[in-house]
Structure 1
């Protein structure tokens, strides 16, 4: 039986998979994201946001593949999935804010405006014929015009500090997202339709990963 290993510490990504009937293994990468992006920019120049998240998703998968837990080191039934998300606003890309002050400033810029949440997906097939492939899900997000008090209250919860773009759609930040255009799973951090496409390219129908399968 093929097993899916999620190379991410994100509880939202794991919850998304669980809700879709997939109970993944989890291993967290130790990738220095800033260093990866700096190295890529030195080599290739300014990265498109959709390419930046894909590069980081790939780096996470490759790091986990090099450092598998002992009980998985010789496994030949694994598909490794890495994801990374960033918000694009006015041509700039934003990951997790460094602190509450940055989250507050970010929201004062975002409120009443529209951005694009990019989530890169990288799939590594470790079975008989190894393969790697990836793609990016991009969803347009319209933010509500929050008051300063709403922003301060939201930042005080700590939630915006833990997520790309400083917002969630499946948590306390949900009321502050007026509408989206695209896959809402991608905004949570893992696009299920895109995952289905990637799995199909390596011959794995998504029902075969369901817990009852």
Structure 2
């Protein structure tokens, strides 16, 4: 395929391995407010969504999480990741290939910028992305809506057709497709919803070492 001109990376689950810690903590927070669920269900139903959208989705089922729920989530982040965060295996090889090809790149995440600084900072990846971090807090609607990816591409100076998205969630894959972008959906995590990613329109791959070739860089 022709090389894209802009590569938009999701953060959690694509750059940094935070999904297990984060989703386990979300299960605990939901249980504290009377919403009993499991890690598998949270991973499938809420992965990739901004926390305000998670709150709305849960409360639509008749559970009140409280006005402070989203803030409590963000307040817990330093503790959640105090023991460090690992980068997704081989992601630096991908970043290196993108940089060597002279492509522009950025991050578009449901997380706020402060959280990205924590997780990317602890992995050392922040040096690649410090000035190109885009958050769902910057747009009216988060994933699965296209607003965030369209905002990131516009801010970077590219049209959707010039851009590709690297995602790991069904919500994020839906968002990228809705934005008119090609989406490569990473499913190397054992808990990845491969069927859901494929149904959403993602091009599945299970090893970051395969991505440069998929992007036409190798």
Identify whether the pair has TM-score above 0.5, normalized to the shorter chain: no
Q: Which has the higher contact order (CA 8 A, sep 6+)?
A: 2
**TM-score of the two chains, using structure 1 as the length reference:** 0.31
The answer to which structure has the higher helix fraction is 2
The answer to which structure has the higher strand fraction is 1
